[in-house]
Amino acid sequence: MGKNVAIVGITGVVGEEMLNCLERRNFPVDELRVMASARSVGKKVKFRDRELSVIEAAAEAFAGIDIALFAVEADQARQFAPAAVKAGAVVIDNSSAYRMSPDCPLVVPEINPQDATPRGIIANPNCSTIIMNVPVYPLHRVNPIKRLVVSTYQAASGAGRPAMEELAANARAWAAGENFTPRVLPYQLFMNVFSHNADIGDNGYNGEEMKMTQETQKIFHAPDIRVTATCVRVPTLRAHCEAVNIEFSRPMSEREVYEILATAPGVTVLDDRAQNRSPQPLDATGQGNVLVGRIRQDISLPDKTGIALFVAGDQILKGAALNAVQIAELIIRPVR
Ligand SMILES: NC(=O)c1ccc[n+]([C@@H]2O[C@H](COP(=O)([O-])OP(=O)(O)OC[C@H]3O[C@@H](n4cnc5c(N)ncnc54)[C@H](OP(=O)(O)O)[C@@H]3O)[C@@H](O)[C@H]2O)c1
């Protein structure tokens, strides 16, 4: 039997991919209800052989919905998710609103599927956190990680469709020799790199960096794992890259890491030293798997407890929409 599914935020980059994932993965849908702000009411989207009209998200719009996939900012998630739950839906939320709430599971299906209880609100982790941890967790299972040091290279679309469009418009303006003033991102991103636009806290870390620390501890059920992140926007359109240095509890060889990652769910190894070929955003774009390369012993840890990796993952897919739909699949077909 199919489910009645809602997508809240259908006009955004994540909402659009949620619809594509439901279609591609043949998710059993009876009714699909698509919502956005009042600005988008009446816009049309196509799902399978149906044309659907966008309706305005509102508390009363969730009647009869079984699964509500949320792809809106945290404020709107807080506004509408409780009403969706009250109406009987399980909410899978992509925003940061509920991720650290003790009542809400934070789920990456390849890591902690057992946490996806089919009720209330289930949070989808931050995109950089998911992309780092899909390949890191299978290593942690074999050799517990003490410390992670990560630097991100995050695409414009991580800040939503308007940021992606701004980068493209900036490139066109540059090609035409015109001046360009950014209005969505805080600085010009084209031909530039800047620290992630999330607010900086008292400890000097920005919000994105702290998400990578706290969410990793929650997903792994490992409150003692230490994570330090530096999150940066780069002028790519889609797919985040990350340089990750891992310190394990005991020595670990490159070969062991290769062997684990070669069969890890959701991971594709792309590591050709002879050709100097490793994961790039264009390789990862449109891929459900996280690509991993540059696998090498971290020479700053002579006892061989360190491994360095470079990963690339489509943050709109595995970092958001695909992960959410995989959680929905867990709800209808729970792991035993
Ligand atoms: N982009 C990513 O790579 C990524 C990755 C992981 C998580 N996320 C998270 O996913 C969520 C969506 O991000 P996004 O990148 O898809 O953003 P986006 O492209 O800017 O889309 C935002 C969506 O929210 C809707 N919206 C705005 N105000 C609304 C309101 N008052 N009521 C109902 N809908 C409203 C917009 O509808 P209108 O078109 O009608 O304004 C649009 O559909 C955010 O919480 C984001 O942090 C994003």
Per-residue pLDDT tens over the stretch 277-302: 999 999 999 999 999 999 999 999 99
**Which atom of ligand 1 sits closest to the CA of residue 39?**
40
Q: Which of 13, 53, 72 to mutate to test the pocket of ligand 1 (most atoms within 8 A of CB)?
A: 72
Kindly tell me if the per-residue pLDDT of 336 is higher than 90: no
Q: What distance in angstroms lies between residue 161's CA and the mean position of ligand 1's atoms?
A: 8
pTM value? 0.97
Mean pLDDT, to the nearest integer, of 234-251? 98
Kindly tell me if the per-residue pLDDT of 26 is higher than 80: yes
Kindly tell me if the per-residue pLDDT of 334 is higher than 70: no
The pLDDT of residue 333 is 84
CA–CA separation, 79 and 282 (whole Å): 36
The CA–CA distances, whole Å, from 267 to 1, 30, 120, 141 equal: 31, 32, 29, 15
How does residue 238 score in pLDDT terms, banded at 50, 70 and 90? very high
Kindly tell me if the per-residue pLDDT of 335 is higher than 80: no
Quickly count: other Cβ atoms within 10 Å of residue 141's Cβ.
13
Provide, rounded to the nearest whole percent, the portion of the chain with pLDDT above 70: 99
Residue 192: half-sphere exposure toward Cβ, Cα within 13 Å:
15
The pLDDT of residue 120 is 98
Q: Which of 17, 70, 73, 290 to mutate to test the pocket of ligand 1 (most atoms within 8 A of CB)?
A: 73
Q: What distance in angstroms lies between residue 73's CA and the mean position of ligand 1's atoms?
A: 5
CA–CA separation, 323 and 116 (whole Å): 12
Contact 209, 152 (CB under 8 A): no
**Architecture of domain 3-125+320-332 in CATH?**
3-Layer(aba) Sandwich (3.40)
Contact 105, 322 (CB under 8 A): no
Contact 125, 212 (CB under 8 A): no
Kindly tell me if the per-residue pLDDT of 211 is higher than 80: yes
The pLDDT of residue 44 is 98
Q: For strands 290-297 and 267-269, give the pairing.
A: parallel
What's the CATH fold of domain 129-315?
Dihydrodipicolinate Reductase; domain 2 (3.30.360)
Contact 225, 214 (CB under 8 A): no
Residues noted as catalytic: 127, 240
pLDDT of 149-199, one tens digit each? 999 999 999 999 999 999 999 999 999 999 999 999 999 999 999 999 999
Portions of the chain given CATH number 3.30.360.10: 129-315
Mean pLDDT, to the nearest integer, of 251-275? 98
Longest CA–CA span in the chain (Å) reads 62
Structure tokens at 203: 């400890």
Portions of the chain given CATH number 3.40.50.720: 3-125+320-332
- Return the CA Rg of the chain: 20
